[in-house]
Amino acid sequence: MFTRMLPRLCSPYSSLRSVIVLSERRLLLVHLYFLGSSYHCGTCSKMTAAAHRIPAAYGVKKTKPFEAMIEDYAKFHWDDTVKEDDPVVVRLREQLLAGSRSALASAITLVESRHPRKRAQGNLLLHTVLAEERKRYVEKGKESMIFRIGISGSPGVGKSSFIEAMGKELTDGRGMKIAVLTIDPSSAVTGGSVLGDLTRMQELSRNPKAYIRQSPTSGSLGGVTRGIHEAIILCEGAGYDVVIIETVGVGQSEVSVADMCDMFCLLLSPAHGDELQGVKRGIMELSDLLVVTKDDGDLKAKARLTQSEYISALKYMRPRIPSWKPKVMRSSIMEPISIQAVCDCMFEFWETIMASGDLEARRTSQMTTWMWDHVREELLNVFQKHPKIAPLAPALEEDVRLGKVTPGHASETLIRTFLGI
């Protein structure tokens, strides 16, 4: 297929060296890197060998015709052989829409996979689930939309305890089905979750109306995993009423979670002024609700003081949503009535943004944000495994470690090699 494309792409009017192939299920970017190719035509033969000098200097050798390398490379990333009647996709779709927890777990594993065929199956499954959600929206309108709540906070603030107490209130007290997607710190050795299902939210994990899925950060920026967007869609397809996304609360994770949810809730520790100094203004501006935890015992006075300090600070910030003014509340897992009050406030927010139209506007904006998040991640993955980059990168990394070249110069070398300039 790529060989047939080359004559058109090598015309005197073609200065681009990338072909973007759009399909119904994904954006497929295939970078046709002509430098070093064994294919020749009138235009290609005029290319100078100057661009070969950088790879050659690092011992990169041509081992096979380059169009063949591109074919192998594309097969490594994408699989277009999966059909709509794929038995795995059909089975998971039927079971997922019926509310099966095991099917939901298998479906999330499928969309998180980096295996080409499993990725293709996951994309097709997502497509069918989204089609059902669109059908449901046409029939029921806004009432068919699921409440997505993002919860973040610094380590030790009590996120897991708060979510477990909140989960009990929603399932036992209000008869709802909830899905909790927790983003765990990754092991530096194995890349897996440091914490496990048995060490966090033990009671909620045994509740038949609750589904808890823990995913390691795997070194991703801000602690947000690759498949969390798709997991939200699958949980909604499985019939859950509320989806809660919890993050590790490090770096840019708060910003990422805020782009995934309808409401962003920031948990705060009761502290005498120190907590206010440690919270960045940008994170507060993202928050729709701030909750001071551990409002019990000797910490009650500090919790009240912390609440009043944040109420004062919010007066000087513009609300993220015009129809909602952020609130600051106190809670304690020892006092169920405080958890009930927080849940009431959350659903007051939900009803407000549904009535004002802000919910639909936010969802639309989030979808485009998700698209570009995927583009950035896929491009980095494609870049690192490109046949011209993979053999060159280790040598450049070594030169950077030895101080022979600067990181900026090394990155420029890689990008120029990738683009063929």
Per-residue pLDDT of the chain (421 residues; tens, 9 = 90+): 434 443 443 433 333 333 333 333 343 333 333 333 333 343 333 333 333 445 555 555 555 555 665 566 565 556 567 777 888 888 999 999 998 999 999 999 888 887 878 888 888 888 889 888 888 888 888 888 899 999 988 888 888 899 999 999 999 999 999 999 987 655 434 444 445 444 578 888 889 999 998 876 555 544 455 678 889 999 999 999 999 998 866 555 667 778 889 999 999 988 745 555 556 667 788 899 999 999 998 899 999 998 998 898 888 888 888 889 999 999 999 999 999 999 999 999 999 999 998 998 888 888 888 888 888 888 888 888 888 898 899 999 999 999 999 999 999 999 999 888 8
Dist. CA 257–CA 246, nearest whole Å: 8
User: pTM of this prediction?
Assistant: 0.75
Dist. CA 271–CA 305, nearest whole Å: 8
- Four-way CATH pick for 146-356: 3.40.50.300, 3.20.20.100, 3.40.50.1980, 3.10.20.30: 3.40.50.300
Dist. CA 119–CA 113, nearest whole Å: 6
Q: How far is CA 26 from CA 20, 172, 268, 367, in A?
A: 11, 40, 40, 14
**Would you identify the CATH topology of the domain 79-145?**
1.20.5
Domain extents in the chain: 2-78+373-419, 79-145, 146-356
Dist. CA 337–CA 339, nearest whole Å: 5
Which H or E run contains 244?
Answer: strand 242-246
